[in-house]
Chain A
Amino acid sequence: MKMRPTIKYEADRVRGFGREIMSVPGCEQLESCIQCGTCSGVCPLSIYMDHTPRQVMALTRADFKNEVLRSRTIWLCASCYACTVECPQEIRITDIMYELKQRAIHEGIYPKRFPIPILAHDFSEMVKKNGRITEMLLVIKLFMKTSWLAALGNWRLGIDLIRTGRFSLVTERIRHHGDIARMMDAVDGKKGPSA
């Protein structure tokens, strides 16, 4: 049995993390969280989480960066916005979850081979290259990177998609696909090649 402390150490805090998150557009209201737990109550996925949304709010505000970014919770959020709508303090919890996901991806501290960050990453790469998503290519790529076994478990779904004419591997691409990369470079403050 693995022994874990039941209280948190001051030393585990990363000073300023909470402030940093609360300075992001959409995340300001976190400061006013009253820890009522409404978010955890309405969340359809909280039963699978290691920390409930209420706990993630408290941990974030109290600077427990590592604990939050390593939590399964942020990857279980399906962006259904139930918590955001119900929160009596009007905290945009879904947007805070998005921000935490971004930090975790950026710092590379999500569980290895965990499919959701891989999906998010491949999705953005495909959009940058083609401007659109070819769903089947994205799904196949995901399975190749994560688990062949999971793909085999979904064989019925694959057959159904072929049978109903929805299995298409033809790459969708916009005419001005160079525009997407140029816009992304402009966001990053890069000059980029002249148009």
Chain B
Amino acid sequence: MKYSYFPGCSLKGLGRAYEESLLPVMKHLGVELQELDDWNCCGATAYMAVDEVKACVLAARNLALAEKSGLNQVMAPCAACYLVLNKAKHYFHDYPAIKATMDRALDAVGLHYSGDTPVRHPLDILLNDVGLEAIKQKVEKPLTGLKVATYYGCQIVRPYATFDDQYNPTTMDRLMEALGATVVRYPLKTKCCGGSLTGTLPEAGIRLVYILLNEAQKRGADCIATVCPLCQFNLDGYHAQVKAQYGDVLVPTVYFTQLMGLAFGLPDKQLGLNRAAVPFKWRPTEALPATAPVPA
């Protein structure tokens, strides 16, 4: 299994713990990743607000580079990148005028995009290509006793539900259960974290963060598992503001890949667990016996 890997800006910046944990976990499962050479910004939410066609063109350069690399599929772990790359692909097929613009822009830099390259999320690859059975076999320290609120956020299920249910996604739930964790009922699993509003309009953004944290605490979760660097940043970074306005809700937020790494017995240092503002201190206590006990 080999994929072209599109990290995106966040995984090199504020969301670096996502990449730090994703790479060793994928390697441990025998998934080969080749970082897309000279990739650029996906086109992201903020660019869409300036010029949607140009955002599609930015995405198209990455898709064209992926085709050029000879690897058929792109893995995009960041929820926003995942959405924008897929959106550009939809626009390429649905709107001839936009396709023509994308072609013209790529032509100016000697690139070509055919419109094929599948863009996939790590959860999709883990569940559908690697498989839960293969993942279970790699579990050395099951997450027994850990109560996880699985938080998918917006953009991996909306507007395109590509590999999971739009209203009640379960891929991460099934993954966490395969690792031995207990998944708590979390009805807000696809509610918005506020995106960049936490910084630009805090009175609105911080409230959304509070609602998500508070619900996880009410449900008895030890942590929130997320798939998006912006969700992680918001839920983890704004505790001081949440505390000032609504009271303390100290539920840590981790990437699902960090929990996978813990279950695989990978060392903390490889998983970026020191990156969170609200530290996640829970660790699996017992390792599985190396062989099944032989009856006397």
Contact = CB atoms under 8 A, between A and B. Distances in A.
A74 to B, nearest CB: 9
B75 interface: no
B275 A165 contact: yes
B52 A102 contact: yes
A80 B230 CA distance: 12
Interface stretch (A9-17, A32-40, A176-184): A176-184
Contacts of A166: 13-14, 16, 275
Contacts of A101: 49
Interface in A109-137: 115-117, 119-121, 123-124, 127, 131-136
Contacts of A164: 274-277
Contacts of A136: 13-14
Contact of B158 (A81, A120, A160): A81
**Per DSSP, are chain A's interface residues mostly helix, strand or loop, or mixed?**
helix
A179 B94 contact: no
Interface in B134-164: 154-155, 158-159
Contacts of B191: 44, 80
Given A85-B166, A132-B9, A172-B12, A187 B104 contact: yes
B130 interface: no
A22 to B, nearest CB: 14
B57 A187 contact: yes
Interface residues of A, number: 65
Interface string A154-174: 101100110111101000101
A85 B277 CA distance: 33
A134 B9 CA distance: 7
Interface string B85-128: 00000010011011001001111111000000000000000000
A21 to B, nearest CB: 13
B195 A79 contact: yes
A116 B105 CA distance: 28
Of A80, A105, A135, chain B has the most CB atoms within 10 Å of the CB of A80
A180 B44 contact: no
A160 B236 CA distance: 10
A164 B104 CA distance: 43
A80 B158 contact: yes
Contact of A157 (B110, B238, B274): B238
Contact of B48 (A45, A80, A98, A180): A98
A135 B191 CA distance: 24
Contacts of B195: 78-80
Contacts of B49: 98, 101-102, 105, 116-117, 120
Given A78-B192, A80-B195, A172-B12, A131 B105 contact: no
A123 B158 contact: no
Contacts of B270: none
Given A82-B192, A120-B49, A187-B101, A133 B41 contact: yes
Contacts of B208: 44-45
B58 A180 contact: yes
A150 to B, nearest CB: 8
A2 interface: no
B57 A105 contact: no
A134 B108 contact: no
Nearest to A125: B50
A180 B40 contact: yes
A121 B109 contact: no
Contact of B109 (A81, A124, A156, A183): A183
A123 B46 contact: yes
Contacts of B203: 48
Nearest to B192: A80
B287 interface: no
Given A156-B240, A180-B40, A186-B105, A94 B200 contact: no
A139 interface: yes
B108 A182 contact: yes
Given A183-B57, A187-B51, 7 more contacts: A25-B97, A26-B52, A80-B192, A105-B50, A116-B196, A123-B44, A157-B240
Interface of B: 9-10, 12-14, 16, 38-41, 44-54, 57-58, 61, 91, 94-95, 97-98, 101, 104-110, 154-155, 158-159, 166, 191-192, 194-197, 199-204, 208, 237-238, 240-241, 274-277
Interface of A: 25-26, 44-45, 48, 75-76, 78-82, 84-85, 92, 94-95, 98-99, 101-102, 105, 115-117, 119-121, 123-124, 127, 131-136, 139, 142, 150, 153-154, 156-157, 160-161, 163-166, 168, 172, 174-176, 179-180, 182-187, 192, 195
